[in-house]
Structure formats: C-alpha cells, structure tokens
Amino acid sequence: MPDIVAPDVRSRMMAAIRGTNTKPELTLRRGLHALGFRFRLHDHRLPGRPDLVFPKFRAVIFAHGCFWHGHDCHLFRMPSTRPDFWEAKISRNREVDRRAADALSELGWRQGVVWECALKGRCRLPLEKVIGDCAAWLCSDAPLLEIKGRDI
C-alpha cells in the first residue's frame, strides 16, 4: 500500500516525534512524584539514558513506546511501506535496549520497563495499578520490573 502523504510531509511528521518527555513518560513522572518519589530525568551518564533515574533506590525506569521498541502487543504493527528499513530500525532499537540493560546491570542498577500498552489502548491497566506497581518495585529489592498491557 503506498503512503498517503508526500515524502517531505512524512519526513517532517517523523522528525517531530520526540524521544523524551513523551506522554507515557509524563504520566509516570506525575504519578510517582505525587507519591513522594524524587528522580532525575534522562541522565546522560548512564547507559541508555533512562527516562527516570532514582539514585536513592539505585533504580531506573524506562517508558518504552510499543512501536519504536517492537513490543509484541496490539499497538505494534510493522509498517507495510519500506519493510526492510523498518525491520532494521526496530531490530537496532531492540539491540540498543539490550546493550543498555546489560551495561546497567553490570553497574549495579535495577531496571524497570513500563510499556506504552500498559498506559493506553484497549489493553491498558488502571493508572493507579501501574503507578502502585512501580512504587512497590522501587521500595523492594527486586532487580527487574516489566509492566505491559493486559492480554485480552
């Protein structure tokens, strides 16, 4: 199926997609801050520049977009135009995520991932549950956290 917009328009649209301060990230920040958690944002000194860094708990949380990180959920669908480009792009993103996770583990950081599908779409979880699970994980000693949308 051909693209319905001109290449220059598509390029402008894709360039406007942010990598920081996304809606899922802002939702997590608001909820955790309201519970009294304090954090740093996008610490460039850490591998992968985590979205939320909690030095007190030696923990980081990533707010991953399901499309950009190739999550196996209803929000991800491989584009039909330029499939070779997109498969390489998504694979590269997954590899970068894996390397960052390995490097953070070696440095002794606990890691959490909150997928976009947990916060939006037909499989989303109640926001209070997502924030509560993040807060409980931060106060625990568990090394990993992954929150994704519920299966239908």
Given a cut of 90, whether residue 81 has pLDDT beyond it is no
Confirm whether pTM is higher than 0.85: yes
CATH 3.40.960.10 fits 19-147, yes or no: yes
Q: What is the 3-state secondary structure (H, E, C) of 31-46?
A: HHHHCCCCCEECCCCC
Spatial contact of 27 and 127, defined as CB atoms under 8 Å apart: yes
Q: Model confidence over 30-58: pLDDT tens digits? A: 999 999 999 999 999 999 999 999 999 99
- So where are the chain's domains? 19-147
